[in-house]
């Protein structure tokens, strides 16, 4: 059991209890926080409170989070767009809206659930006819084969390890920055410079705990290079090359230069009431290059611009900016 205690300051007053606890405990969902509150695991000034309680300055909030029980991940028949697969790795083109990995309060509909179903139905490509793959690298909840992640509303390529050896190799490549990634994005505003580099350390936001933010002190180094593909009247089409892989890195970096990703409400990407909105953050993992864990071959994968981003440009980006 983990115990947490918070003293409410002016920045957090009038917030709902469940909203506040979700912000400060960003690794668990709001629905899970609400269950903890309902079961008496959260108190205000020593008294159990409701999720809707509005916090006041000086309130003492305490919450106990039970040790998580092992997640039983159920295979789910969710269609997957598999770009490449062999005995060591599988590369998936993840749709926007799909969470990568199960977590307390969000155990279904994830990429891992879909992969489990895929491996229960399909023979391994290089195995003898009728043989079934060992999904140990993917099935194990503790080590599910996921070596990098994409945000729920970010679409595009993600590589998954199918063996322990492959997982160790890919993890090492990410750590050593050998893996190359390219993203495409629609950003609010007209980006003036044709290219540039954003070099700004990133840390957890001091107040809004679900957010990351540029940090002058204590942040982790983060660097993103960008190129302008095309400028429109009020937004820009960008190609991005993240050198590091920090949480929300591209989203934070673009917002820090005044050009948040369209549709990214968390970092200011809504263009205002008179502008059309993207239904999700307009960010796509376009290219992925890596060294094959078993053969040592350099491999490159590519996913085209998704339909929703292409259609948005077609409908709302007809007037190119100078």
Distances (CA, A) of 310 to 15, 103, 130, 157: 38, 32, 41, 17
| pLDDT tens-digit readout, 285-320 | 999 999 999 999 999 999 999 999 999 999 998 777
Domain ranges of the chain: 2-65, 82-175, 180-316
- Residue 151 annotated to the active site: yes
pLDDT at 227 over 90: yes
Active-site residue, from 59, 93, 151, 153: 151
Rounded mean pLDDT, 184-202: 96
| Number of neighbouring beta carbons within 10 Å of residue 117 | 16
82-175 to CATH, choices 3.40.50.720, 3.10.20.30, 3.40.50.920, 3.30.2350.10: 3.30.2350.10
pLDDT at 222 over 80: yes
Domain 2-65 shares a fold with domain 82-175 = no
Percent of the chain past pLDDT 70, that is, above it, reads 87
CATH for the stretch 180-316 = 3.30.2350.10
Rounded mean pLDDT, 246-258: 95
Fold of 2-65: 3.10.290
Count of alpha carbons within 13 angstroms of residue 30, beta-carbon side: 10
Give this prediction's pTM: 0.75
Contact predicate 92/157, CB 8 Å: yes
* Res 236: pLDDT: 97
| pLDDT tens-digit readout, 155-168 | 999 999 988 888 88
Q: CA geometry: angle at 246 spanning 260 and 197, to 5°?
A: 55
Q: Which range among 21-35, 78-92, 172-186 shows the weakest confidence by mean pLDDT?
A: 21-35
Distances (CA, A) of 37 to 12, 25, 67: 18, 13, 16
* Res 138: pLDDT: 54
């Amino acid at each position: 059991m983990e115990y947490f205690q918070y003293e409410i300051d002016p920045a957090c007053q009038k917030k709902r209890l469940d909203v506040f606890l979700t912000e400060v405990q960003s690794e668990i969902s709001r629905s899970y926080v609400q269950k903890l509150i309902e079961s008496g695991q959260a108190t205000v000034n020593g008294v159990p409170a409701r999720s809707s309680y509005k916090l006041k300055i000086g309130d003492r909030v305490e919450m106990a989070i039970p040790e998580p029980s092992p997640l039983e991940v159920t295979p789910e028949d969710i269609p997957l767009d598999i770009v490449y697969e062999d005995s060591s790795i599988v590369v998936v083109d993840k749709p926007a809206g799909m969470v990568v990995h199960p977590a307390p309060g969000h155990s279904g509909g994830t990429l891992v659930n879909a992969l489990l179903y895929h491996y229960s139905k399909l023979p391994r490509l290089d195995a003898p006819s009728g043989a079934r793959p060992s999904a140990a690298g993917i099935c194990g909840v503790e080590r599910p084969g996921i070596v990098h992640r994409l945000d729920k509303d970010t679409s595009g390529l993600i590589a998954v390890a199918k063996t322990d050896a492959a997982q160790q190799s890919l993890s090492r490549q990410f750590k050593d920055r050998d893996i190359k990634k390219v993203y495409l994005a629609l950003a609010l505003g007209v980006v003036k410079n044709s290219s540039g580099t954003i070099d700004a350390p990133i840390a957890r936001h001091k107040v809004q705990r679900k957010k990351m933010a540029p940090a002058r002190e204590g942040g982790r180094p983060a660097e993103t290079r960008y190129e302008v593909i095309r400028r429109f009247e009020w937004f820009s089409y960008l190609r991005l090359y993240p050198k590091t892989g920090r949480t929300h890195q591209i989203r934070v970096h673009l917002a820090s230069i005044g050009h948040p990703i369209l549709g990214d409400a968390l970092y200011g990407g809504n263009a205002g009431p008179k502008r059309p909105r993207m239904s999700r953050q307009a960010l796509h993992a376009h290219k992925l290059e890596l060294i094959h864990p078993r053969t040592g071959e350099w491999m490159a994968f590519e996913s085209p611009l998704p339909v929703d981003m292409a259609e948005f440009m077609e409908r709302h980006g007809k007037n190119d900016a100078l």
